[in-house]
């Protein structure tokens, strides 16, 4: 399950905020580096960033929710990106996606497994249309998938 932030993480954040205090245009780099420290951006971290940079929390939240690179919830160790582009769709991507959800025990709308081993994302295109249907686990691309091939591939990352 989700662990509380460590003292070391809070110290790293304090150091980061000290480095950027008073610097114009620092919100995005601070958020990026804070996310690297914590793995995501918990509410308490956003409040601390707002307070120390003197930027309204509404502005911080607006940036975090606008850019897809920022995450407000913990993410899994392994990121599974399931392509839902046209070539993959035509060749059965929906069945592969359903098999991934079933294998990981994810309900509709749930993205991360409770043990934080996997996070599932759907993407518009991975760029490997000749291998459709395709998914990626971290930086590894897996193609010519069937719903039956999903389980053994994901087992390698568990």
- The annotation places the binding site for [2Fe-2S] cluster at 83, 88, 125, 129
Binding-site annotation, residues: 83, 88, 125, 129
DSSP-derived letter for residue 129 is G
Quote the radius of gyration of the chain (alpha carbons, Å): 18
Please tell me the number of Cα atoms within 13 Å of 108 on its side-chain side. Answer: 1
* Residue 151: strand pairing partners: none
Q: Are the C-beta atoms of 113 and 73 separated by less than 8 Å?
A: no
């Amino acid at each position: 399950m989700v662990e509380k932030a460590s003292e070391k993480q809070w110290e790293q954040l304090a150091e980061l905020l000290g480095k950027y205090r008073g610097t114009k245009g620092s919100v995005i780099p601070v958020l990026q580096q804070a996310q690297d420290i914590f793995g995501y951006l918990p509410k308490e971290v956003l409040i601390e960033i707002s307070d120390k940079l003197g930027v309204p929390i509404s502005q911080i939240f607006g940036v975090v929710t606008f850019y897809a690179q920022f995450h407000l919830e913990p993410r899994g160790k392994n990121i599974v990106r399931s392509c839902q582009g046209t070539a993959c769709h035509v060749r059965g991507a929906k069945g592969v996606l359903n098999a991934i959800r079933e294998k990981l025990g994810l309900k509709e709308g749930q993205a991360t497994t409770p043990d934080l081993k996997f996070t599932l994302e759907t993407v518009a295109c991975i760029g490997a249309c000749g291998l459709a249907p395709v998914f990626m686990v971290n930086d590894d691309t897996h193609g010519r998938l069937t719903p039956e091939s999903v389980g053994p591939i994901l087992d390698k990352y568990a």
